[in-house]
Structure 1
Amino acid sequence: MLIEARGVKVRIGSRTVFDNVAVTCESGQMTALIGPSGCGKTTLLHCLGLLQQPTRGQVRIDGVETTGWRDSARRKFWRHHAAFVQQDYGVIDDETVGFNATMQMSILGRRLPADQRRLDMALERTGLPGRSAELAAHLSGGEKQRLAIARAIYKSADVLFADEPTASLDPDNREHVTALLRQLADSGTTVIIATHDERLATACDKTHDLASPPNGTGTASAG
């Protein structure tokens, strides 16, 4: 899935977060959004993930301009195509590992049966085999981050948006999470990461620096 920003500007109150940003994120690649704290990495990630409307410019998905989409169209994109990995893991502590991986619930709030084969595969790939019935509260921080990635694997997401996915992790878990993101990209997923982790950025195929040049337009380069 091709995700593009063209001439995107975000202004919050009297402050311009960034202006005239252009970035292209392709299937099968990891793209890192980098720069110092406060430069707008997470804000740009949210624009690309249709979580936030830009003040100006276009966000395109497979060539289709999305900034005029209704809420129903954005929800359809999130439900069928996108997965999100948040810095705070986005895990529900008082639910099971299995439910957190599948999030199988109908619009009426009823629990739906999971595809056990897909669930087992997702947990196996993320180093959490046999823990489907365990409460997520029992997991470590690194395990919770891997559980968030298991959710993307279970969903077979076309695009994964990750906000500082290695922040606060120990070196072993940083390496594990980086490898999982690499595997997703190699399988064809579009992986877009906001990060200040230099080692993670180096592992990406492309980087987009919001701090260079100074006017905030940013640059893209091969990783």
Structure 2
Amino acid sequence: MLIEAQGISVAIGGGIVLDDESLRCKTGIMTALVGASGSGKTTLLHCLGLLLPVDKGSILIDGNDVTRYSAAARRRFWRDHAAFVLQDYGIMDEESVAFNVTMQASFIGKRVSGNKERLKQSLEQTGLKNRGNELAGHLSGGEKQRLALSRAIYKDANILFVDEPTASLDATNRRMVIELLADFTARGRTVIVSTHDSEMIAACGAIHQIGSSNSSH
């Protein structure tokens, strides 16, 4: 899916965070949102993912203006098309690894439900094979990041929004996360990454510098 921002501006607390930003994030290309700390990378990512409204400009998905989507329409977009990997991982520590992937459980006995084969494959791809029954709280930071990616792989979302995926990771986990994102992109998905990591940026096919209103390929 093609995600576009056309001249969007956002002010928070009286200060301008984004000023007339425009970019195109194409299918099958991983796009890096880059800029100095505090430049608005995460804000732009949240606007593109319809998590944050814009004050001016438009957000388009496959040419359709979604800027003023209703709350119900945004929920449908998140449910049917989008997956998010945010800085806090969005992991429920008190639940099992498997539940954190499928987000489904039976009412009786709280057994994890969902597509067992897809669950197995998503855990294998992220290096978490045979760890489905463990509590997510027992995982390291890098493993939680991979668990969040496992959830996105399981969902098979069209668009993946990722915020600083390699921050605070060791070299092994950093490489694994970058490879997972590249593989996800190669399957014809749209991947948008907010990052300051030069290794992550190098793996992206397009780079948008905050404040420049253009992307390089």
Q: Same fold (TM over 0.5)?
A: yes
User: TM bucket by the smaller chain?
Assistant: over 0.9
Letter in 1 for 2:155: K
Distance in 1, Cα, partners of 2:187 & 2:202: 19
State the AA in 1 paired with 2:183: Q
SS across alignment from 1:69: coil
Is the Cα contact below 8 Å between 1:19 and 1:217 reproduced in 2?
no
CA RMSD of aligned residues (A): 1.4
Any conservation in 2 of the 1:20–1:217 contact (CA below 8 Å)? no
Q: How does 1:81-92 map to 2 (within 5 A)?
A: 81-92=81-92
Deviation at 1:46, TM superposition (A): 0.1
Aligned residues: 214
Taking every aligned residue pair, what percent have the same amino acid on both sides? 55
1:57 aligns with 2:52: no
Deviation of 1:195 after TM superposition, in Å, equals 0.4
Partners of 2:64 and 2:35 in 1: CA distance = 28
What is the identity, as a one-letter code, of the residue corresponding to 2:153?
I
Using structure 1 for the length normalisation, give the TM-score: 0.93
Aligned equivalent of 1:203? 203
**Cα shift at 1:112:** 6.9
User: What are the equivalent positions in structure 2 for 1:1-223 lying under 5 Å apart?
Assistant: 1-104=1-104, 113-210=113-210, 216-222=211-217
Letter of the aligned partner of 2:215 in structure 1? A
Residue in structure 2 matched with residue 213 of structure 1 by the alignment? none
Q: TM-score, normalised by structure 2?
A: 0.95
CA offsets per residue over residues 144-192 of structure 1, 9 Å max, x none? Answer: 1000000011001000000000000001100000000000000011000
In structure 2, stretches of 5+ residues that fail to align are none
Unaligned runs of 5+ in 1: 211-215
Matches of 1:171 and 1:29 in 2, distance apart? 24
* Cα pair distance change 1:105/1:159, threshold 3 Å: farther
For 1:72-123, what per-residue CA distance to the aligned partner results, in whole angstroms no more than 9, with x for missing partners?
00000101110000112111100000000111269xxx97721100000000
Deviations 1:25-73 (A, max 9, x none): 1111100000001100000000000000011000011111011110000
Moved over 6 A (4+): none
